[in-house]
Amino acid sequence: MSDAAQSGAAALPPLDELLAAARVVALPLATRFRGIDVREALLLRGPAGWTEFSPFAEYDDAEAATWLAAALDFGWSDVDATPDHPALLRDRIPVNATMPAVDADRVAEILARYDGCRTVKVKVAERGQTLADDIARVRAVRAAIGPEGRIRLDANGGWNIDEAEHAAHELAPFDLEYLEQPCATVPELAELRSRLHDWDLPIAADESVRKAEDPIAVVREGAADLVVVKAQPLGGVRAALRIVAEAGVPAVVSSALDTSVGLAMGAHLAAALPELDYDCGLGTASLLAADVTREPLRAEGGSIPVRRVEVDAGLLEAHAAAPERDAWWRARLTRCHAELEGRAAAASSADTGEIAADTAEADHRGHPQRAASAEQYPRQSEGRA
């Protein structure tokens, strides 16, 4: 049966309803990150509350449509109350600080934005920088948080196997928690993990999960010790939970430079995980110089609360995107809605074929499955004269 059917997903809201509810914002970043200085997002207010659609501009419509599915799942179905949704097991989520690929002399300034965080994810392998730059940055982080703090590195697939192995050797003295997406492909990750087998340095997969047709392949191929999961890119809270369950390895919940609205979605995902062994990458509101709520989900005492965010109308107005960008996002929403309509139609057709095949098999073999199908899809009783 289709994922949509398994998740109990609601019918796709009409496009006109979404366009009427849409608000596009452009939020300045406090520090340049991921090559951008402004984070754009399309926000929607659904029956369950505010939700976010914010795939990065370079993503194609097929990939972006999965982000829209996540937004609709969070805004048009109450994940706190939907019967098929697991219970929220915690009301606060421990989070890490995120250190962009900045010069070492800026490390202390940036860490000051993350109240109480004792884990830091450090960006490395930035284009145009050197391993020496990475080492200096990591050294400054270790000096700032002391020997008890935890450091994890994120290369975003920026190294080849030999570069990653060399970097791991050079950075090992800083006592790393894990190395996230050091190489771009699953075979590269598998080879690197084999080389680092005796180093006690776990490999985490991010892009190899959220950008893959098969998000479990990286685990199946022995290429990762843990998975990084993000609610928007994976299609929503319930879709991400299914991936974690199937992967069978520890998971780290992270964000995609979301506004506080998107971070609330991630917090709900983290709150529903059966086990939460790692601090989550959901403290990234501190990378924004502005947000859409008067109560942003910034770290306090090293954690953020699990709650929906109430968007402030004044902040929406103050940070409204330029007209041409607003139009661009609305056109993108329209195309992605059409993509989801196509997926829903294909899933419905597949489910119909599955039901027909199951019924035919039951008829042929005399199994009781037909009775179950008839109970699930009732028809009028024929009776006897």
Alpha-carbon distance 190 to 6, whole Å? 32
Nearest to 278 by CA among 343, 371, 204: 204
Alpha-carbon distance 294 to 17, whole Å? 26
Residue 154 is labelled as binding a ligand: yes
Q: Which residues are catalytic?
A: 123, 230
Q: What is the separation of C-alpha 167 from the centre of its chain, rounded to a whole number of angstroms?
A: 27
Three-state secondary structure call for residue 71: helix
Using CA atoms, how far residue 201 sits from 9, 16, 171, 229, 297, in Å, is 39, 50, 11, 19, 31
Q: What is the separation of C-alpha 69 from the centre of its chain, rounded to a whole number of angstroms?
A: 12
Long-range contact set of residues 332-338: C-beta below 8 Å, sequence gap at least 24: 332/42, 332/61, 332/64, 333/15, 333/18, 333/19, 333/22, 333/42, 333/53, 333/68, 334/15, 334/19, 335/61, 336/53, 336/61, 336/64, 336/65, 336/67, 336/68, 337/12, 337/15, 337/18, 337/68
Query: Do residues 150 and 118 touch, judged by C-beta distance below 8 A?
Result: yes
Residue 358 is labelled as binding a ligand: no
Query: Do residues 55 and 64 touch, judged by C-beta distance below 8 A?
Result: yes
Residue 180 is labelled as binding a ligand: yes
Annotated binding site for Mg(2+): 154, 180, 206
Annotated binding site: 154, 180, 206
